[in-house]
Chain A
Amino acid sequence: MLKQALAFLKKDFLVESSYKFAFISRAFGVLAGVLAYFFIDKLFGQRMVPHLEEFGISYFSYVLLGMAFFSYIGVGMGSFSIRIRAEQMQGTLEAVLLSPAKVSTILFSLAVWNLLFAALDTALYIGLGVFLFKINFAGINILSTLVIFILSVISFSSLGILSASFIMVFKQGNPLGWIINTLEGLIGGVYFPVTVMPGWLQFLAGFLPITYAVRAIELAVYRGYSLWQLKTEYAFLMVFSIVLLPLSLSAFKYALRKARLQGSLIQY
């Protein structure tokens, strides 16, 4: 598996680096996003204070961590479908699937570059927070953060793989991609605490793993909450992980079989 993953990593690095401004424009994108929320905080931050009492931080600190976290688990995990789509569009999917690697190996290898790149985005968010905006992460509970992060990665990878299954069969019009990249970010507490939203949206947010993941990570990082204090979020993420991972792998294998039956691997 390592050999294939490294091959993809090298190949994707070479492809990406052939686009001269890709790295720079992405870094500027992160900086622009952070600055936008910095000024939003200046304007409206005080109105958020009642919703942020539990976290004990400013709105900007909340949203910076939310974006850093979501840039990895949301954008990173959404990349499973993006990469499958890219291989379809390039016409290379068939050639890749001709290799004797396991389906799960190919799937992971496809996404590994985006996951690494998303990690750089996350590091950039955190770096900007620490060095430019002097946000204090000293109260972090590393164990809780790590466990919640890993469970979030598993949950969101599963959603990403489910999303890739849609792409494999339907090529476009992927509802799960929209849920992962848009709905989760919008109502899952990434850009503002869910308590800001009306009750029915808060109810809906309760069905999304991101809601538990963001809340837990904010509390673990800023308040140093232990796993015991985060047991509800931990339990939900655990259930999402246990249910979604095998489900998503089975769905992808089914989708691949369906595409092979349709003879549509080369279509886009």
Chain B
Amino acid sequence: MKNILEVEGLSKDFIPPLSFGELIKLDLKRGMPARALRDVSFSLEPGKILGVLGPNGAGKTTLLKIIATLILPDKGSVSINGYRLGNDDEKIKSIVGLVCPQERSFYWRLTGRQNLEFFAAMHGLTNVQARLKELFDIFRINYQDKRFDRLSSGMKQKFALIRGLLHDPRLLLLDEPTKSLDYTAALDLRGFIKENMAKKGKTVVFATHNMDEALDFCDLFMILNQGKLRAFGTLEELRGQTGRPGAALGEIFVRLSKT
């Protein structure tokens, strides 16, 4: 089966940017580059759910943002459904959805619905109200016409999820999507992903710190630490790679996070 996502030799360092003031004063001293990703390669077939695991600062968010075209890598290549990052970014954006936990990524003085209508228009979508109704029902949204700044964190997170799903992406990137969600809402999300995405051949990359959640619905796991890919595969394959048959996912994670 043709891979939906192919990542090859991906590396990224973050160099603290110079301000214009520093530039004109020729104060060119910069801090040490922060290593975010180092030579990461993997591929993913359609319909799979990949759990991206790693301690804080492992490079999970950077990886997701590179795939979503928001960050350019220093080295390596990313191909999504045959489209090359850097060459076909507009096509990539039309088939990729990204959900980040930042509440600030919405217009707080608009309602949730007005925000989603805006982002739907930016995607050039038609039949927006029908799509919104479908997603509001799935995520049990009751406050779609309340101003965004008056919503709870969990409700804001639900709107972020809906925004990522508006254009029915073939590849959905989720960065800690259940962080602010209550138990029921997290279950709804996982159920939706299994039933409406994976079973329909859509692919999901899911960055999380929650091992139980990852174990519950991911087909594959990736463990990142200090920007390096430490392990990739099914739970059985991870056990094989670490030489610990029968080990729990959390145990493997802890072992690989320390190396």
Q: If the complex has contacts A95-B106, A172-B20, A260-B72, are A100 and B91 also in contact, measured as CB distance less than 8 A?
A: yes
A14 lies within 8 A of chain B by Cβ: yes
Chain A residues with CB below 8 A from B15, complex form? 262
A186 to B140, CA, bound (A): 57
B60 lies within 8 A of chain A by Cβ: no
Chain A residues with CB below 8 A from B36, complex form? 263
Which of B12, B100, B105, B121 has a CB less than 8 Å from the CB of A3?
B121
Which of A14, A95, A174 has a CB less than 8 Å from the CB of B20?
A174
Q: If the complex has contacts A91-B104, A92-B105, A166-B20, are A100 and B110 also in contact, measured as CB distance less than 8 A?
A: no
Query: 1/0 per residue A166-208: CB within 8 Å of B?
Result: 1001111111000000000000000000000000000000000
A10 lies within 8 A of chain B by Cβ: yes
Chain A residues with CB below 8 A from B20, complex form? 166, 170, 172-175
A231 lies within 8 A of chain B by Cβ: no
Which of B19, B109, B110, B118 has a CB less than 8 Å from the CB of A170?
B19
Which of A15, A98, A174 has a CB less than 8 Å from the CB of B70?
A98
A25 lies within 8 A of chain B by Cβ: no
Query: 1/0 per residue A84-109: CB within 8 Å of B?
Result: 00000011101111111110000000
Chain B residues with CB below 8 A from A14, complex form? 109-110, 114
For the complex formed, measure the closest distance between the CB of B115 and the CB atoms of chain A, giving whole angstroms. Answer: 8
Contact status B93-A260, CB under 8 Å: no
Contact status B123-A100, CB under 8 Å: yes
Query: 1/0 per residue B38-55: CB within 8 Å of A?
Result: 000000000000000000
B122 lies within 8 A of chain A by Cβ: yes
Contact status A265-B118, CB under 8 Å: no
Contact status B65-A7, CB under 8 Å: no
Chain A residues with CB below 8 A from B110, complex form? 11, 14-15, 18
A174 to B17, CA, bound (A): 15
A96 to B23, CA, bound (A): 29
Majority SS at the chain B contact face: mixed
A99 to B72, CA, bound (A): 16
A257 lies within 8 A of chain B by Cβ: yes
Q: If the complex has contacts A92-B107, A95-B119, are A262 and B21 also in contact, measured as CB distance less than 8 A?
A: no
Give residues 98-131 of B contacting A (CB, 8 Å).
Answer: 98, 100, 102, 104-110, 114, 117-119, 121-124
Chain A residues with CB below 8 A from B94, complex form? 100
For the complex, count residues of A whose C-beta is within 8 A of B: 40
Contact status A97-B70, CB under 8 Å: yes
Contact status B68-A264, CB under 8 Å: no
Contact status B105-A169, CB under 8 Å: no
A58 lies within 8 A of chain B by Cβ: no
A266 lies within 8 A of chain B by Cβ: yes
Contact status B93-A100, CB under 8 Å: yes
Contact status A102-B90, CB under 8 Å: yes
Query: 1/0 per residue A1-43: CB within 8 Å of B?
Result: 0011011101100110011000000000000000000000000
Chain B residues with CB below 8 A from A3, complex form? 121, 124
A108 to B12, CA, bound (A): 31
Q: If the complex has contacts A95-B163, A98-B93, A257-B72, are A11 and B19 also in contact, measured as CB distance less than 8 A?
A: no
For the complex formed, measure the closest distance between the CB of B94 and the CB atoms of chain A, giving whole angstroms. Answer: 4
Chain A residues with CB below 8 A from B21, complex form? 173
B203 lies within 8 A of chain A by Cβ: no
B226 lies within 8 A of chain A by Cβ: no
**Please, which residue of chain B has its CB at the minimum distance from the CB of A16?**
B109
Give residues 222-260 of A contacting B (CB, 8 Å).
Answer: 257, 260
Chain A residues with CB below 8 A from B192, complex form? none
Contact status A262-B107, CB under 8 Å: no
Chain B residues with CB below 8 A from A96, complex form? 122
Give residues 79-96 of B contacting A (CB, 8 Å).
Answer: 90-91, 93-94
Would you give 25 A-B contacts (Cβ < 8 Å), ordered by A?
A4-B122, A6-B121, A7-B122, A10-B118, A11-B114, A14-B110, A15-B109, A15-B110, A90-B104, A91-B102, A94-B100, A95-B105, A95-B163, A98-B70, A100-B123, A101-B124, A102-B90, A173-B19, A257-B72, A260-B69, A263-B36, A263-B62, A263-B65, A263-B71, A265-B70
Please name the 3 residue pairs, one residue from A and one from B, whose CB atoms are nearest each other, closest first.
A91-B104, A7-B121, A99-B122
A-B contact sample (8 more), CB < 8 A, given A15-B107, A257-B72:
A4-B122, A14-B110, A90-B104, A96-B122, A98-B98, A171-B19, A262-B17, A266-B102
